[in-house]
């Protein structure tokens, strides 16, 4: 595989990638060899590539440790307010290169590894992805950690150290097959176990109401063992902490219940409680009410809040160490951010700690709880809303159910009609009573935010909830709206963002350097600086440089596909990407219809000059989501026909990118020409993949949904390919005659032809009825109105084809998009969270380096 930089390029990129001084290189080589010998106990005769990766990782980690300790010392001395970002997912990807970028070590490490006769890319490829997330929500959490450290916030990420992350996806005979992601099998050089901070977490049992208060007794205890990972800020000497909890059985787990003969079985049964941190639930935007999942959700918040209270109590005034006992101060020193409803149990758990353990009165405890907690909502999809059965709650967390009932009882004591009270209750009535976790989060938080402006507007206007039969969804039109009318100041918008360190400097260094040559390097910390690129919109040399970087990235990705996927593609073709979780609302099926339509057009007029396209789709389907798996099978089936048709040749290829993940995204996104963001208006909360493509010089074809709306504002709507229904059009259709797929099918010949081909077995000749379910879905049960946007989508794709034939005008539009990316930095998002929710002030100042004295 070709290297990303020539020696000349490396010399050019010293500023962005970090200095490679002779002393630095020599020190790195010494440290590398020391770790190879003394940490790994290997020499060059027996070491393999993975050993060399671990030696390099430990060498780079050495440069983190002093800063990591110094940062925690600094926080202890200054006693700032701390933010605790609790998330069930942190989709971190790989750590080595990102750390080198943030510590300005990349050039020095490159040179040291080169002088040692090794290949940097080969070593980087030895690192396992930390795939502890499903998609956007988990990757957002990872970007936020980077920004919190880069903005000098005293912040901690808290989650679960899943033994198995998001599954590895294999495509076998066109079908998705899941394999366990054993990402820890070779060890993880970035984490540090902290058994001294192990915490007990209780489950089951019963409550006793005594004169001294409520006691939760006869519980089963699971130990939470923390593993800490350093999170370096960008060149500011700050290293924050991500703490992930692993479940461990206590030494006496079950042993007291057995006689000598049952000892072996008792030891084996320890696995039952350790299963809590065994595996990430591979569901995105879908609620699955499993006891193990509720255990995971409570496990992470119970362990985290013990840490929060411990750290809050351990304070320092001047040179004196004191124990802080006034919990009225907690909201002034602690901010807890709930990343969706998954950590919602933090609210009743914090109330339990304050009332039962710290003996605060209910009213005071509730005031402290609400002022401490804040909630981010990530979806309006009804199937994603968490609603836990009362019976399961009572069995697993009896004390917390009592607390939730009490919260609800007190909350419902406000004037209002019975219908409104029913809609706003934390307890949903019906055949099976359930706790509505979104309502719990809203009531128990001082701030509630959506993740794009249009999403936040939808949240306060409506909420989709399931009816008691669970067979379909009713838009009752007044869910969060009721809460908004009760307390409008609680609701905010915080449009998502991405970190420019990973998603530009690291993954697309060629583009970062072209930009730096024109406007300097400040854009890495202040992405708004990209607006200055508009001065060069008519600069022919700059236009050529941008186009040249894109073509180099496309060539490199084509080589990667050929080497790793055995697929050969035309690097001169338009690279058209739709990469995200496979879900009906994201409308990969609309993309499929375009693939088929374009194929049919080429077949009909094979001598016409067609714009060559390579359409690449990637993403994982939840293992239990049958329709999503069928969508993958349709994409691979279309590819099998299109890619082997000699009439079509290189003018159209359809590729399914197996096992799409952070590391593959870092290679794919810089090569993209077109980014497909085609969800039904009103269904995508925000999106962050759309931002990554925009920043890396891809043009967006999309609906006015999620953050696409704000992207169009920032870059100019004329610089995106916008098509289809707006939210108001979808609402009007639902309120009027409704959506009837057959009307479009009968009216649009190309749509009818494509659907007839799918239904008739054209793409599955050995199984003509293979896609019968998908056809039935699209014709009779499509909530996401694919056909309604088909015609506008195809016409918009025609505009894309025309513009691509004019490389200069295409690249000028690309520059407009890159220049409009400033808003979509996670630094901006986090600065807004800090100032408007957490009551903290970001800082771009450095703290003293490890060899300097703390002031």
Residue 231's DSSP bridge partners are 240
User: Is the Cβ–Cβ distance between 786 and 593 less than 8 Å?
Assistant: yes
745: which residues sit within 8 A by CB, 6+ positions away?
Answer: 751, 752, 755, 779, 787
Beta strands in 413-493 (DSSP E): 427-428, 434-436, 447-450, 464-466, 473-475, 491-493
Smallest CA-to-CA distance from 589 within 320, 414, 435, 776 is with: 776
Cβ neighbours of 608 (radius 10 Å) = 9
Q: Phi, psi at residue 613, to the nearest 5°?
A: -135, 140
The structure tokens 């504002």 sit at 713
- Give catalytic status of residue 248 as yes or no: no
- Give catalytic status of residue 59 as yes or no: no
- CA distance linking residue 370 with residue 347, whole number of Å: 8
- Give catalytic status of residue 12 as yes or no: no
Give the Å distances, CA to CA, from 33 to 21, 40, 57, 116, 627.
19, 10, 12, 10, 52
Q: What angle do CA 449, 450, 455 make, to 5 degrees?
A: 150
- Give catalytic status of residue 481 as yes or no: no
Catalytic residue among 67, 586, 620, 651: 586
- Give catalytic status of residue 587 as yes or no: no
Catalytic residue among 59, 597, 688, 829: 688
User: Is the Cβ–Cβ distance between 139 and 826 less than 8 Å?
Assistant: no
Catalytic residue among 581, 613, 653, 823: 581
- Give catalytic status of residue 378 as yes or no: yes
Smallest CA-to-CA distance from 34 within 112, 149, 126, 106 is with: 112
Tokens linked to 79: 């006693």
Q: Are strands 652-657 and 613-618 parallel, antiparallel or unpaired?
A: parallel
Burial 100-109 (b: 16+ CB within 10 A, else e): bbbbbbbbbb
Radius of gyration of the chain (CA): 27
User: Coil, strand, or helix at residue 131?
Assistant: strand
Catalytic residue among 501, 692, 823, 828: 692
User: Coil, strand, or helix at residue 259?
Assistant: coil
Burial class (CB in 10 A: 0-12, 13-18, 19+), 124: middle
User: Coil, strand, or helix at residue 258?
Assistant: coil
Tokens linked to 677: 């963001």
The structure tokens 């706790």 sit at 435
- CA distance linking residue 371 with residue 837, whole number of Å: 10
Q: Are strands 320-323 and 314-317 parallel, antiparallel or unpaired?
A: antiparallel
CA dihedral 818, 701, 553, 531 (to 10 degrees): 0
Tokens linked to 187: 């060890």
Tokens linked to 663: 């590391």
Catalytic residue among 17, 70, 243, 378: 378
The structure tokens 């009818």 sit at 752
Would you please indicate which residues are annotated as catalytic (active-site) residues? 378, 580-581, 586, 688, 692
């Amino acid at each position: 595989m070709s290297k990303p930089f020539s020696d000349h390029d490396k010399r050019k990129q010293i500023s962005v990638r970090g200095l490679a001084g002779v002393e630095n290189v020599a020190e790195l080589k010494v440290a590398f060899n020391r770790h190879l010998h003394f940490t790994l106990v290997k020499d060059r005769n027996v070491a393999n590539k993975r050993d060399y990766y671990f030696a390099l990782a430990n060498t780079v980690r050495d440069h983190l440790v002093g800063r990591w300790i110094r940062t925690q010392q600094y926080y202890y001395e200054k006693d700032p307010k701390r933010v605790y970002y609790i998330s069930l997912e942190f989709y971190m990807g790989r750590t080595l290169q990102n750390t080198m970028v943030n510590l300005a070590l990349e050039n020095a490490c490159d040179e040291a590894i080169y002088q040692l006769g090794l290949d940097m890319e080969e070593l980087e490829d030895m690192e396992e992805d930390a795939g502890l997330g499903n998609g956007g929500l988990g990757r957002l959490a990872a970007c936020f950690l980077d920004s919190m450290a880069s903005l000098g916030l005293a912040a901690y990420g808290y989650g679960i150290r899943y033994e198995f992350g998001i599954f590895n996806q294999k495509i076998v005979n066109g079908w998705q097959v899941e394999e366990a992601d054993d990402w820890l099998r070779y060890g993880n050089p970035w984490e540090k176990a902290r058994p001294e901070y192990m915490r007990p977490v209780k489950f089951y049992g019963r409550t006793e109401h005594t004169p001294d208060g409520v006691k939760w007794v006869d519980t089963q205890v699971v130990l939470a063992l923390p593993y800490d990972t350093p999170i370096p800020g960008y060149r500011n000497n700050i290293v924050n902490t991500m703490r992930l909890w692993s479940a461990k059985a206590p030494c006496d787990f079950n042993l007291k219940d057995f006689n000598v003969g049952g000892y072996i079985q008792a030891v084996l049964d320890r696995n039952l409680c350790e299963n809590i941190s065994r595996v990430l639930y591979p569901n995105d935007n879908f609620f699955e009410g499993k006891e193990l999942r509720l255990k995971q959700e409570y496990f992470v918040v119970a362990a985290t809040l013990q840490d929060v209270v411990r750290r809050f109590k351990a304070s320092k005034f001047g040179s004196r160490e004191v124990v802080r006992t006034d919990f009225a101060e907690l909201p002034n020193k602690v901010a807890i951010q709930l990343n969706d409803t998954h950590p919602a149990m933090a609210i009743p758990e914090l109330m339990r700690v304050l009332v039962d353990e710290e003996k605060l009165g209910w009213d005071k405890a509730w005031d402290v709880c609400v002022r401490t907690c804040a909630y981010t909502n990530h979806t309006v999809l009804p199937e994603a809303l968490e609603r836990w059965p009362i019976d399961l709650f009572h069995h697993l967390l009896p004390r917390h159910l009592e607390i939730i009932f009490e919260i609800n009882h007190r909350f419902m004591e406000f004037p209002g009609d019975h219908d409104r009270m029913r809609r706003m209750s934390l307890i949903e009535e019906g055949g099976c009573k359930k706790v509505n976790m979104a309502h719990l989060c809203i009531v128990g938080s001082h701030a509630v935010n959506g993740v794009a402006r249009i999403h936040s507007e939808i949240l306060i206007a409506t909420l989709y909830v399931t009816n008691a039969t669970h067979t379909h969804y009713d838009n009752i039109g007044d869910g969060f709206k009721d809460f908004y009318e009760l307390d409008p100041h609680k609701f905010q918008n915080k449009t998502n963002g991405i970190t420019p360190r990973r998603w530009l400097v690291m993954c697309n260094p060629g583009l970062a350097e072209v930009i730096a040559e024109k406007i300097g390097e400040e854009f890495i910390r202040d992405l708004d600086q990209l607006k200055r690129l508009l001065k060069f919109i008519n600069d022919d040399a700059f236009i050529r440089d941008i186009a040249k970087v894109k073509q180099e990235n496309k060539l490199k990705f084509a080589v990667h596909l050929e080497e790793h996927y055995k697929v050969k593609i035309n690097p001169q073709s338009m690279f058209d990407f739709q990469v995200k979780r496979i879900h009906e609302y994201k409308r990969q099926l609309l993309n499929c219809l375009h693939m088929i339509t374009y194929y049919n057009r080429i077949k009909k007029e094979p001598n016409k000059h067609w714009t060559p396209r390579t359409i690449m789709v990637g993403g994982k389907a939840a293992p239990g989501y049958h329709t999503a798996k069928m969508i993958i099978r349709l994409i691979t089936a279309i590819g099998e026909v299109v890619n082997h048709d000699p009439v079509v040749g290189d003018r159209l290829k359809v590729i399914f990118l197996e096992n799409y993940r952070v590391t593959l995204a870092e290679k794919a996104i810089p090569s993209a020409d077109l980014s497909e963001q085609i969800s039904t208006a009103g269904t995508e909360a925000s999106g962050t993949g759309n931002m990554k493509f925009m920043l890396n010089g891809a043009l967006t074809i999309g609906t006015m949904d999620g953050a696409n709306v704000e992207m169009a504002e920032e870059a100019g709507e004329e610089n995106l390919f916008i098509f289809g229904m707006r939210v108001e059009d979808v609402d009007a259709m639902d309120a009027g005659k409704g959506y009837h797929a057959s009307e479009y099918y009968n009216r649009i010949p190309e749509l009818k032809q494509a659907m007839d081909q799918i239904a008739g077995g054209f793409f599955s000749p050995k199984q003509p009825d293979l896609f019968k379910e998908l056809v039935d879905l699209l014709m009779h049960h499509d909530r996401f109105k694919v056909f309604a946007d088909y015609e506008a989508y195809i016409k918009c794709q025609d505009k894309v084809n025309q513009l691509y034939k004019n490389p200069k005008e295409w690249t000028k539009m690309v520059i407009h998009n890159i220049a409009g990316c400033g808003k979509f930095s996670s630094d901006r998002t986090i600065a807004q969270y800090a100032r408007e929710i957490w009551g903290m002030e970001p800082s771009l100042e450095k703290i003293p380096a490890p060899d300097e004295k703390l002031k």
